[in-house]
Structure 1
Amino acid sequence: MTAAEALNVLNVRPQTLYANVSRGKIRAKPDGDDPRRSLYHGDDVLRMARRANGRRKVEIVSSETMQYGEPVLASSISTASNGKLLYRGHDAARLADSASLEEVAALLWQCDAAQAAALWPSSRLPRQPGDEAPGSALAAGLLALARRSAVDQPSLGRAPDDLRAEAARILDSLVDAMTGSCGVDAEAARATPAAPAAPAAPAAPAGGSISARLARAWRAEAHEDLIRRALVLMADNELNASTFAARVAISTGASLAAGMLAGFTTLTGPLHGGAAAQFAQLIAQANASNADDAVRHWLAGARPLPAFGHPLYRDGDPRALALLKTLPKIQPYEALAVAAERQAGELPNIDYALALLTAHCGLPQEAPFVLFAVGRCVGWLAHALEQVQANRLIRPRARYTGPAEIINAGIY
């Protein structure tokens, strides 16, 4: 089929057609009569059309909700709606213009003014023997959360105020661990005070706001506002893989730290949290040749294009748009964005924006991962608090695909 024929059958925008091609759901090849155009496999197009329009069995529909379907759990924390990401009804992009991560935490954790003011630890914990930072931010985060998971109380049956206070301590510990800033000198901490907060905002930790602590650890104080924006935009994004993992753990009554550890471990996978490393490879390929060839070569391997496209945002990731408006255009990033849209119909997502921010500010290579993990921990904790209130075990059923019962037969 030509593009026009495929679009007519699918009743979708061109970007959606190209996205299905890039994900390997619809096969395509160059048009022999015009190499600038493509032809699309008719069987694949018709199969996609049937999936969109046909009625399917309940168990199949239910299983597909686990893969970017309708939400599988009721939540009032965040949602992707009309091309926007909303935190309890507030546009995340607008919050990023002025809010701190602490203010967003107070919003998502449903703190009133008095609770917010008393939320954050009043002093840095002294460095303990064995607290030396491991070799990477990932390892440091895993270790810090694992240590707390072994000793923290279960979450079930505890007062909401106690859980919020513990949530703040967990986030504080994670920031310390991932920046290697355990035991920051008090005088040095006071040398970089946090910006004054609004009356209902939580007081900043003793070492300054989280964005200030990251900026200081990275020696990027001049770029603290960009770091703050990125953290706010990363705070939550519905029931993604890490958030769902955190909620499952908390539904058993596990401690908040254990739930955070469950969420954090999902970031070790290349499909969630690993986009920055893959995008770095794409950047290297673009530098070695050019952006068009790099994208073409990547797509030829039937791999999802890292840092481009997002199933929740057909018209572009609003988090990326909110951050990119504050950043300059840098090559080969800009050329890759053009090539990705032309060849795959995909627009930059937040992973692209975090990588561009890192390049512009001269941040460490691990900065995109740290910004993702620290910001998202706020959302994980919000979902943990909500799951404690639900007081329900999350236990989906499996759709069995093995053999029927075998009677009177040995194993061997």
Structure 2
Amino acid sequence: MEWIDAATAAERLGVKPATLYAYVSRGVLQRRHGDDGRRSLFSAEEIERLARRGRPRSQPPELVIESAVTSLGVDRPYYRGIDALELATTSGFETVAEWLWTGDPGVLHGARRSQSAAPRGLGSGMERAGSGGADTGSEAVRPDAGVVAWRCEPGALRAAVTAQRGLPDDLLPLDRLQVITTVLGASDSLRYQLDPASVAGTGRRLIAGLVDALPELSEPQGDSIAERLWSRLCPHPAPPALLDAVKAALVLLADHELAASTLAARVAASAKADPYAVVLTGLGVLGGPLHGGASYGAERLLAEIVEPGQAARAIAERVRRGERIPGFGHSIYKNGDGRGGLLLDLVKEAAPGHERIAAGTAVLEEMRRRRLPERNVDFALAILAAVSGMVSGAGEAIFAVARVAGWLAHAMEEYERGTLLRLRASYTGPPVRGA
């Protein structure tokens, strides 16, 4: 059988590549991935049959958005063409965020600094720190090497901290992040500047503020976002290997194409909502149990399993109630989520023999015994939080802080497009009278 690439298939059908992938999602076409895991290949015979038959019209067209930010492979995302799993072990979160925002190769390779995302001034007269990058060549490098610390100005931080007074002490971090975002947005006189450099500057300020305005539980061990976030989620100092796992998690979760929260964020950006409103929109969707909130559900599942022998009962009870097992299954990665695999491996290497890893392994074995879906990155996040002794909801917080980078990268594309995303409904209600 002859296989052709996406560009050739789209040209033969007379459609855009985005339409070609819409045919795949609707089951009109089948595809397979090339040996490199990146290229999509199509049966030349199937394309020819479809070309003779004409474009399918049996279903309403799906919304397809062209984007240069992230491509999804067989089991992992690629950020502007680069394997996210590779980036997770060679580059820090700040560097990867800059790569998502600018697409400047110098951000990753250290040959030059990106000028398109230069810092912008604050209303207080302070400057927003930019970010450099770490060399990701053949030699292993420290993931956060050469990165200038991102900061939010003290006055805005104080306001964000004050706004949380009176909130319950056991409030989940994700709920606090929404309050913090609102306050930081209200204090930014440059929030409506939507050019790429300004949005990148907002991103640095916002991510730094989201982390630094959370209650401090331990002393930060460095200036990176990962180190500062650890001190807000865990009352104990970070063992270096577990901190590396947190750094990797931030990179792995920085973007994931048009996930539900990202689609919502893009719709907001298409209406010219400012970056803080875009992030608030994303945070509101991310907390759902079918999205970023799945890690919180997986945390609760692990908390029920005091020792590995209890895993079978915990899974059985959820299956009996017809509940989804949190942290398992993925709408894209049917045979396993590579992000979860890498993160689990890092946690196991960091804390071999830990009782929470044993409990997680028992859950994995029980799910496989029942031939239920494979684990995803949310389950790995839950194990990372449990092994590290983090507060409840820590996985959601890591997910949210990381995904701000992706939301703003997609927002930049919508600001540049300049047209409103307007979906249409397929009406199924009573007949319209008087039409």
Same fold per superposition (TM over 0.5): yes
Give the match for residue 339 of structure 2. Answer: 319
Give the match for residue 147 of structure 1. Answer: 183
Among residues 389, 394, 398, which one is paired with 1:362 in the alignment? Answer: 389
Contact 1:153 1:255 in 2 (8 A): no
* Superposition deviation, residue 57 in structure 1: 7.1
Among residues 368, 372, 378, which one is paired with 2:405 in the alignment? Answer: 378
Change (3 A) 1:103 1:378: same
Give the match for residue 369 of structure 2. Answer: 342
Q: Deviations over 1:298-330 (max 9, x none)?
A: 122222221011121122101001111112262
* Superposition deviation, residue 144 in structure 1: 1.7
Q: Distance in 2 between matches of 1:300 and 1:280?
A: 20
Q: How does 1:81-230 map to 2 (within 5 A)?
A: 81-110=73-102, 112=104, 113-115=113-115, 118=119, 119=130, 121=150, 124-126=153-155, 127-129=157-159, 131-132=161-162, 133=164, 134-135=167-168, 136=171, 137-150=173-186, 158-177=194-213, 179-181=214-216, 192-193=221-222, 208-217=223-232, 218=234, 219-222=236-239, 223-230=242-249
Report SS of the residue matched to 2:72.
strand
Change (3 A) 1:88 1:130: closer
Runs of 5+ in structure 1 lacking a partner? 1-54, 67-71, 194-207
Tell me whether 1:293 sits opposite 2:305 in the alignment.
Answer: no
Report SS of the residue matched to 1:109.
helix
Q: Distance in 2 between matches of 1:130 and 1:214?
A: 16
TM-score normalised by L of structure 2: 0.68
RMSD: 2.9
Change (3 A) 1:82 1:97: same
- Which range is displaced more, 137-146 or 248-257? 137-146
Q: Distance in 2 between matches of 1:60 and 1:293?
A: 43
Q: Distance in 1 between matches of 2:56 and 2:182?
A: 41
**Higher RCO by CA contacts (8 Å cutoff, separation 6 or greater):** 1
TM-score normalised by L of structure 1: 0.72
- Which range is displaced more, 365-374 or 124-133? 124-133
Instruction: Say how many residue pairs are matched.
Output: 326
Runs of 5+ in structure 2 lacking a partner? 1-53, 105-112, 120-129, 132-149
Give the match for residue 196 of structure 1. Answer: none
Q: Deviations over 1:283-307 (max 9, x none)?
A: 3444487222222221222222210
- Which range is displaced more, 213-222 or 254-263? 213-222
Q: Distance in 1 between matches of 2:230 and 2:151?
A: 20
Counterpart amino acid of 1:307? G
Counterpart amino acid of 1:180? P
Counterpart amino acid of 1:339? E
